[in-house]
Amino acid sequence: MSAVIETGCAPARRALPLLLDVDPARCLLWQDGRRIDTHEFMRTVCALAAQLPQAAYMVNLCEDRYRFLVAFCAAAVAGQINLLPASRAPQALAEVLRAHADSHEFSDAAFAAALARCGNVHNTPLATPQIGAEQVIAIGFTSGSTGQPKPNPKRWGDFCASTALNAALLCGEHAPNIVATVPPQHMYGLELTVLLPLRSRAAIHAGQPFFPADIAHALRDVPAPRVLVTTPVHLRALLREAPELPALDAIVSATAPLDAELAAAAEKRYGTRVIEVFGSTETCVIAHRRTAQAQAWQLYPGITLQPQPDGTQVTAPHLPVATPLQDIVELLPSQQFILRGRNSDLLEIAGKRASLADLNRRLLAIGGVQDGVIFPLEPDASGVCRLAALIVAPDVDEAQVLAAMRDAVDPVFLPRPLRRVAALPRNGAGKLPREALLAALTQRP
């Protein structure tokens, strides 16, 4: 395995291959029980790249993981930058498109049409494209302190360096076959289901199973060794419904905190190790831990943290500059740390994320809403966190406001319940105490 994984050192200013290992015997992707090898994949990428419209940016909207992966690579080969908006709501997409002139949307339907124009992709000459280390190939979006989506450009050389660290953690002597419940547009999903297969010998299952029975079916579709890339919510559902799973080399979790009891239960039930990874859109994955056994996080080699009054500064070979995070950490010896909280309003639900400030900004932008607030409720018995909202809107009702919100945000972030009130329960300082919000939510009209 060491022969095909580069070290995590700073990327040299050179061209790096799009696909690190092009052995034709290697399976890159499993789709509906079919094995797609590296040569078929590269021919499809090159054929599709020639069919893309002339543009600087591609908004990669492909829902199918295989199509997303091919389109992601085709855009890079064509010199286009993948735009990866955090939400697919029409308003959010429109904002991204307005901010990036000379861009085009590329969906599953566009993929099918472009591939049809290619004819038989097996006739496409085989090539192994080289991508400049300095070339920006993607822009991931997150929400900053202002609530506005913040673009995070990612260079190919930086992606290659950070992915080598993930490969060193997850790819042992035998390359894993990965099944993931998370979407490829999310940075966690992008790192482990797009970049890892490109830059190691790992293979990826094309599906995105959601229900426990579907997860079990997808895992049975691929041979050992198997790695499940998932979230605490999916892990809880698996343990609750307890389907039989084939042997797992590892379960990887992120997007929300994983408690030690859940990790230990999963390890016992499935006879495997549960690895939690820590990172962000700005930094990619920087640390990991076996949550059932340790509270402390282990930093990847070469990464350093510097506590700040309002968070933590991250320095890494794959980061062009030191990067601030809103997480508060306590540093320990041996490149370890403990999280002490987050100075952030980031929400993460069902593998997707949004800023609470951005959601409130969108709520207050709806016509007829004079005042309003969205806030998280306590997780339910399954660990799922819901949002609630209070609005002051004398001339529009709750259904109208929800309909407008549905056009502005991803459905998982729609506030339910949403209740109209005469006034928000602000205190003398203009703040909204959580207890007062909960009381107003349940108060009868």
Task: For residues 382 and 237, give the distance between their C-alpha atoms in angstroms, rounded to a whole number.
Answer: 7
CATH code, 365-442:
3.30.300.30
Predicted confidence (pLDDT) per residue in 171-205, tens digit = 988 899 999 998 898 899 999 999 999 999 999 99
| pTM strictly above 0.85 | no
Q: Check pLDDT > 50 for residue 398.
A: yes
Q: Which stretches of 6-107 are DSSP H helices?
A: 38-49, 65-77, 90-99
Using pLDDT thresholds of 50, 70 and 90, give the confidence band for residue 309: confident
Tell whether the model's pLDDT for residue 52 goes beyond 70: yes
Tell me which residue of 423, 418, 431, 416 sits closest to 371, measured CA to CA: 423
Domain with CATH 3.30.300.30 in the chain: 365-442
The region of weakest confidence among 3-17, 362-376, 378-392, 403-417 is 3-17
Contact 58, 104 (CB under 8 A): yes
What is the Cα–Cα distance from 346 to 145, expressed in whole angstroms?
9
In angstroms, rounded to a whole number, what is the distance separating the alpha carbons of residues 200 and 212?
A: 28
Polymer length in residues for the chain? 445
3-state secondary structure of 236: helix
Query: Residue 59: beta bridge partners?
Result: 83, 105
Question: What is the rounded average pLDDT of the residues 266-280?
Answer: 96
Question: Residue 410: is its pLDDT beyond 60?
Answer: yes
Every domain range in the chain assigned CATH 3.40.50.12780: 2-342
> From the CA atom positions of the chain, what is the Rg in Å?
22
Average pLDDT, the chain: 88
Does pLDDT of 430 surpass 50?
Answer: no
Query: Is a pLDDT exceeding 90 seen at residue 342?
Result: no
* Average confidence (pLDDT) over 136-144: 80
Of 62-76, 240-254, 287-301, 345-359, which range is least confident? 345-359
CATH superfamily name and code, 2-342: ANL, N-terminal domain (3.40.50.12780)
Asked whether the beta carbons of 191 and 284 are under 8 A apart, the reply is yes
The average pLDDT across 381-387 equals: 77
As a whole number of angstroms, the distance between CA 66 and CA 64 comes to: 6
Q: What is the pLDDT of residue 13?
A: 58
Q: Above 90 in pLDDT, residue 30?
A: yes
